[in-house]
Amino acid sequence: MITKEDVLRVAKLARIQLNSQETEKFQKDLSAILDYFASLQELDVSGVKETTHSVQVQNVMREDQEATGQKTEGLLQTTEQKDGFLKVPSILP
């Protein structure tokens, strides 16, 4: 069973705010799922190479040609802007 502190640490890393009810539920859920994942430890995987992509392609190249880009306006539709930059709150409190 992982601890409540573990849940809060992971939530902090993932930048997700949880309320106390969620923290309690996720402590239970995450523990059960991690227990299920533990079955992977039964297998001997020494000498086995990992597969990152099922269909491997390497060094995908293309012609260095000018092309029309995406529609900037549409891509920025949900952002708040100031002087042509994205506006965010100050990073240092």
Partner 1 sequence: MDTASLNISKVQEGLSKKEFSAAELAKAFLNNIKEKDGDIHAFLAVSEELALSQAASVDRAISKGEALPELAGVPMSIKDAILVEGLPCTAGSRMLENYIAPYDATVIQKVKEAGAVILGKTNMDEFGMGSSTENSAFGPTKNPRDKSRVPGGTSGGSTASVAADECLVSLGEDTGGSIRLPASFCGVVGLKPTYGAVSRHGIISVASSLDQVGSIGKTVEDAEKLFHVIQGKDPKDGTSVAYHELPPKKSSWRDFIIGVPKEYFEAGLDPQVKAVIEKGIDRMEKQGARIQEVSLPHTKYALASYYVIDMSEISSNLARYDGFRYGKHVKSGTLLQEYEESRGQGFGEEVKRRVMLGTYALSAGYYDAFYLRAQKVRTLLKQDFEKAFEKVDVVAGPTAPFLPFKLGERSADPMAMYLADIYTVPVNLTGLPAISLPAGSVQGLPVGLQLIGKAFCEQTLFEAGKLFEQIQSNG
Binding footprint of partner 1 on the chain (CB under 8 A)? 6-7, 10-11, 13-18, 22, 26, 29-30, 32-34, 36-37, 39-43, 45, 48-55, 57, 60, 62, 70-71, 73-75, 77-80, 86, 88-91, 93
Instruction: Count Cβ atoms within 10 A of the Cβ of residue 26 and give its class: 0-12 exposed, 13-18 middle, 19 or more buried.
Output: buried
Cβ at position 40, least distance to partner 1 in Å: 5
Residue (of 26, 46, 30, 48) closest to 38 by Cα position: 30
Cβ at position 83, least distance to partner 1 in Å: 16
Q: What are phi and psi of 85, to 5 degrees?
A: -120, 155
